[in-house]
Each structure stands twice: as structure tokens, then as C-alpha cells.
Chains A and B, each alone.
Chain A
């Protein structure tokens, strides 16, 4: 098993290399240069100044040379400096060690995704199970229909509707940011409540999209399992249905869900761009959006490689989890 994990970690390296190569080429081959954006903001910039800037950023060199230069730095975990006027190191923008943990962009996005995943599983698993055990009943039909509607609902639209209803109309929940203006003056409990209030809408909207897929998946996995012979045996032994479903069937039906969790990492993080821009959450998605608009190559590449790495890690952890849970495939 250790050998298998080591082999998998080793295999991640070429994939990660491929991710950087393809992303780098796509970004840099798209027409236009970051200095165009500078020139848009400052029309007085002289051609000489532009050339100097391009030289400083190595943009005058052939793209292969640029890539090798970038790669040389990245293997030392040096993400380079942002092209924006503050010229801060990319890593400081993503993971600012001077800030408290809760204010760091990567942490914010990561935490939101973890909480969301947790909420999704807590709802999707029971929903999927009951939908499967009540197959073809009215209940099953209602959940299946809801799942189809859930699939089709654009998350940003749902966000807008909820913001309009709970934020603007009822005034119950804040619609932007992760904490209130007066956060620092609140007591500890006040701070915690404030944080939670700010999380309710984003987490709900985030979870809503994933919920449909995961509960559907859980349902079909459960249906598959209850057709198996060992379930028939359990029933034939006279075990109560509750024990058959929750002790015998559930354990086996949960297995494929582990893989699904691993696979849903890129989708969730990808969605964070839209979510963070709607709810004004200062996470990595928001940073990516700002960097994209100003062609801040080093920041974009930094985020792409971190997210790529997290995705691979998610897949690996899912596979390990699968192996731990299922003795049949433990080699």
C-alpha cells in the first residue's frame, strides 16, 4: 500500500508539469501583452518605458525561454512577483503570512469549499439513500425532479434571488463579505455569530449545485447495492430492514462517493470565481478574477498550479480513502 501511494505521488509530478506547460502556453500565446493594460491605464507611457518593462518581466524573450525561467523558479517554490503596481510576491497575495489565518485568500477559499462539501454530504447521503429505498414512490419522484431542477439552476441566479429575499427584502442576512464593518468591536460570541451569518448564503448556494449531483449519485449507488446477493442474504436471515440498509448496504454504497468527492474539487474551486465575485468574498477566486483582468501572469499561473495541485491531492486522498474503506482492492 505504501508502495502504491509513493508510486501515485511520483506520477503526480509529470501531470503537474503538464498542467503548468499547457496553462503557461495558453496564457502567453493569447494575443496582447500585460504592458498593453498598463498603457491603457497610463496613455502617456513611452515606447521606451514599455520596452524597459517588458525586459524587466522577460516578456521580450521567446516563450520557451520564459517558461524555462518560470519553471526554474517554481521548483524552488518561488512563485515570482506580481505584475501589478504593488509588485508583491505572488505567494504573499495568495497566502499572506502577515495576516491572521482567517484573512488569507487560499485559506478562505479552501475553508468555504470544505464547509460546503461537508454540508453537501450531510444532506446528499440521507437524501440519496431514502430516495433509493423508496424507489418509484411519490417521494422518489419529488426528489428526482428536484435534482433535475437543482442541476439546471444557475448558481449565480440562485445567489441573486436569495440575496434579494433574505438580504434586501427581509434584511436578515448580510449579502456581502465575510464579516461586518463593526466586526472588531464585537464580543467573541458576537464575532462567531457574525462570521456564521456571513457564511450562510454563500455556503447554501455553493452546496445547492453539488447537492443535486451527489444525491443522484448516492441514489444510483444504493440501488446498485441493494440488488446484490449479500443484501438478499441479509434479508433472508430475517434482519430488520433498518439494519440491512444502514449496516450492510450503506457501507458499500458509500464507496463510490469517495471517488466523487475527489473528482469534484476542480468544479468547486472553479465555481468560487463566480461565487466570490457575487458575495464579495476576498478569496482566491476573487484574486484570480482581478489578475485575469490585468493580465497578471505570475499570479494567474500561481493560482492555476496551486489549484491543480489541490485537485491531484484530492484525487490521491480519494483513492487512498477508497483503499482504506474497501478491503477488496487493497493490494
Chain B
């Protein structure tokens, strides 16, 4: 009864927030495009056509062709798959690690907490982008390596968030009651506290996807991301840079796709956050 009431409030507030709805629509469209990529793309994304290289946008090729005569529109549709996959898996890894460290630090406190927090401080001070570059350059830029490396270097925010939630929740009556009834630590952590702190974690995950998408496209742009022939928006942009004086369409479209995607996740994340924030409920 109570949860369904909260759910109603959430949906009412979310739907009222036009910006959040725009974000949700963008993300939804991205899913559709990624899911139906083979149906939507007019050409095979990897078909080389030496007779039609670097052609500007036309009816035949709405986004033009690249240096090998491949259809940029089709490659961008498949690029949505890469972007979606990298975003979700990388953030999934980061969230799991963050929850793990955050809940242990917040629940047990004391030395465990101090060591983990110091570790997080160090990770935040290390120029992680440099390390990501180095490790990817060493182990080779494959899509799996990239997702794992991004995930392993971006969990600190989640960990801090979860820790803060644990600190405020662990002294509440329902947790003390569970403890008094002899529930195990694991049960209290997962069934009682974590469940109640998932909302902000979810918001930060949605915002994290935006960050991961940007990071992956940056890596691809430097040539250390997902490698061609697999199409990504980042590696089409690299071609744009190499052909900057002759082929504007190789730069303009993929960059715009990245912008829209990141915007979509950000708006969605902020929208969910606002809709969940009880302090803002009063305002209406």
C-alpha cells in the first residue's frame, strides 16, 4: 500500500518534469536503435565500396561515406550498440565494486572504514585517465578490456554514496530490530540497509553511464578504444579528425550522437533524482 503510493508520487512528479521525460525518450530511442540495428541500417555497416569513398551526405547515404566507402549512417546505428553495451557493463562493474566497498566501510566503520576511505582518496588522486590509457595500451584495446578498465576505475563515487547511506541507516530502529532478532551481518547489509539505499545508487548509475559513454568515445578517439571494423561513434570521429579538411560529416554526426546520448542519460538521472527527493515534494 505504502510503496504503491510512493510509486504514484514518483511517477506523477517524473511525468511533470518535461526535461526528465525528454531524457527518458532519448534513452528509449537509443535502446530501440541498438536493438533493431540490422533492420534500421540501409547497408551492411562493414561493406567497403572503393568507388564511393568520402562522399558527402546524399539521399543514398544520409550521413555520407567514410574513407573506405562504408555507409556512415549504418555504422552510426551499430555504434549505438557499442555505446549502450560499454555504458551498461562498465557502470555495472563500477556499481558492484562501489556497493561492496561502500557497504563494508559504512557498516563496520572503524579501521575497515578508515582503510577503505584512504584507498578511495588515493584512487581519486591518481590521474585515473592516465592509468586507463596505459593499461589499455598494454593489454590491447578490445571492447571487453575497455569496459572492465572503465568499471575498475570509476567505482569511488558509488562507494562514498553507499557508505554515507549506510552511516545514516545503520542506527535506525528497523536495523537495530533486525540485529536484536539475531540476523546475520550479511542479511542486514543486503536485505535491510542496501535495499533502502538503492535509489541514490540507481541515480548515480544512470549519471555514470553518461560518463562511461564519454570516456569510451574519448578512448576510441585516441585510437585506444574499440577497434575498427567494429563501428563506434568515437572511432568514426577519429576518421573525422584525419579528414578534417575534406569530410565534415565524419565529425559532425557521431559527435552529435554522443552529445545526445550523454544528454539523455544526464537528464534522465537528474529527473529521477528530483522525483525521488522528498525535500522537493513540499514545494508543490
Interface residues of chain A, those whose CB is within 8 Å of chain B, are 14-15, 18-19, 22-23, 26-27, 30-32, 148-149, 151-154, 156-158, 160-161, 163-164, 168, 266, 269-271, 273-274, 277-278, 288-289, 292-293, 295, 300, 303-304, 307-308, 311-312, 315
Q: Which residue of B lies closest to A310 (CB)?
A: B127
Question: Are B251 and A161 neighbours in the complex by a CB distance under 8 Å?
Answer: yes
Interface string of B69-97 (1 = CB under 8 A from A): 00000000000000000000000000000
With a 10 A CB-CB cut-off, give which of B121, B126, B260 has the most chain A CB atoms.
Answer: B126
Question: Are A153 and B128 neighbours in the complex by a CB distance under 8 Å?
Answer: no
Q: Which residue of A lies closest to B254 (CB)?
A: A157
Inter-chain pairs besides A152-B260, A157-B255, A160-B255, 13 sampled, C-beta below 8 Å? A18-B119, A19-B126, A26-B135, A31-B139, A148-B266, A152-B261, A154-B214, A154-B237, A157-B256, A160-B240, A274-B222, A308-B125, A311-B125
Given that A19-B125, A160-B241 are known contacts, is A273 also in contact with B133, CB under 8 Å in the complex? yes
Query: Please, how many angstroms separate the alpha-carbon atoms of A310 and B124 in the complex?
Result: 13
Tell whether B176 is near chain A: CB-to-CB under 8 Å. Answer: no
Point out the residues of chain B lying under 8 angstroms from A30, CB to CB. Answer: 134-135, 138-139
Interface string of B237-253 (1 = CB under 8 A from A): 10011001100100110
Point out the residues of chain B lying under 8 angstroms from A153, CB to CB. Answer: 259
Interface residues of chain B, those whose CB is within 8 Å of chain A, are 19, 118-119, 121-131, 133-135, 137-139, 210, 214, 217-218, 221-222, 237, 240-241, 244-245, 248, 251-252, 254-256, 258-263, 266-267
Query: Please, how many angstroms separate the alpha-carbon atoms of A293 and B133 in the complex?
Result: 9
Question: Are B133 and A164 neighbours in the complex by a CB distance under 8 Å?
Answer: no
Question: Are A18 and B118 neighbours in the complex by a CB distance under 8 Å?
Answer: yes
Question: Are A151 and B125 neighbours in the complex by a CB distance under 8 Å?
Answer: no
Query: Please, how many angstroms separate the alpha-carbon atoms of A161 and B135 in the complex?
Result: 30
What secondary structure prevails in chain B residues at the interface with A?
helix
Point out the residues of chain A lying under 8 angstroms from B19, CB to CB. Answer: 148
Question: Are B131 and A304 neighbours in the complex by a CB distance under 8 Å?
Answer: yes
Point out the residues of chain B lying under 8 angstroms from A158, CB to CB. Answer: 255
Point out the residues of chain A lying under 8 angstroms from B261, CB to CB. Answer: 152
Query: Please, how many angstroms separate the alpha-carbon atoms of A277 and B135 in the complex?
Result: 18
Given that A31-B139, A152-B266, A160-B240 are known contacts, is A15 also in contact with B134, CB under 8 Å in the complex? no
Closest 10 CB pairs of A and B: A157-B255, A270-B129, A152-B262, A30-B138, A152-B263, A18-B122, A307-B127, A292-B137, A160-B251, A292-B134
With a 10 A CB-CB cut-off, give which of A154, A164, A295 has the most chain B CB atoms.
Answer: A154
Query: Please, how many angstroms separate the alpha-carbon atoms of A274 and B216 in the complex?
Result: 12
Point out the residues of chain B lying under 8 angstroms from A26, CB to CB. Answer: 131, 134-135
Which residue of B130, B133, B210, B252 contacts A152 across the interface (Cβ within 8 Å)?
A: B210
Point out the residues of chain B lying under 8 angstroms from A271, CB to CB. Answer: 129
Question: Are A300 and B134 neighbours in the complex by a CB distance under 8 Å?
Answer: yes
Q: From residue B279, how far is it (CB to closest CB) to chain A in Å?
A: 13
Point out the residues of chain A lying under 8 angstroms from B138, CB to CB. Answer: 27, 30-32, 295
Question: Are A168 and B259 neighbours in the complex by a CB distance under 8 Å?
Answer: no
Query: Please, how many angstroms separate the alpha-carbon atoms of A127 and B267 in the complex?
Result: 21
Query: Please, how many angstroms separate the alpha-carbon atoms of A270 and B134 in the complex?
Result: 13
Which residue of A157, A270, A277, A300 contacts B258 across the interface (Cβ within 8 Å)?
A: A157
Point out the residues of chain A lying under 8 angstroms from B119, CB to CB. Answer: 18
With a 10 A CB-CB cut-off, give which of A152, A153, A277 has the most chain B CB atoms.
Answer: A152
Query: Please, how many angstroms separate the alpha-carbon atoms of A303 and B121 in the complex?
Result: 19
Question: Are A161 and B252 neighbours in the complex by a CB distance under 8 Å?
Answer: yes
Q: Can you list 13 residue pairs at the A/B interface with Cβ under 8 Å?
A: A18-B119, A27-B134, A152-B210, A153-B259, A157-B254, A157-B258, A160-B244, A160-B251, A161-B252, A292-B130, A295-B137, A304-B131, A307-B127
Question: Are A149 and B133 neighbours in the complex by a CB distance under 8 Å?
Answer: no
Q: From residue A325, how far is it (CB to closest CB) to chain B in Å?
A: 23
Query: Please, how many angstroms separate the alpha-carbon atoms of A14 and B122 in the complex?
Result: 9
Q: From residue B119, how far is it (CB to closest CB) to chain A in Å?
A: 7
Point out the residues of chain B lying under 8 angstroms from A270, CB to CB. Answer: 127-130
Query: Please, how many angstroms separate the alpha-carbon atoms of A71 and B259 in the complex?
Result: 43
Question: Are A156 and B267 neighbours in the complex by a CB distance under 8 Å?
Answer: no
Q: Which residue of B lies closest to A278 (CB)?
A: B241
Question: Are B122 and A15 neighbours in the complex by a CB distance under 8 Å?
Answer: yes
Point out the residues of chain B lying under 8 angstroms from A311, CB to CB. Answer: 125, 127
Query: Please, how many angstroms separate the alpha-carbon atoms of A311 and B130 in the complex?
Result: 14
Point out the residues of chain A lying under 8 angstroms from B260, CB to CB. Answer: 152
Question: Are B255 and A161 neighbours in the complex by a CB distance under 8 Å?
Answer: yes
Question: Are B135 and A168 neighbours in the complex by a CB distance under 8 Å?
Answer: no
Q: Which residue of B lies closest to A31 (CB)?
A: B139
Question: Are B134 and A148 neighbours in the complex by a CB distance under 8 Å?
Answer: no
Query: Please, how many angstroms separate the alpha-carbon atoms of A171 and B214 in the complex?
Result: 29
Query: Please, how many angstroms separate the alpha-carbon atoms of A27 and B135 in the complex?
Result: 7
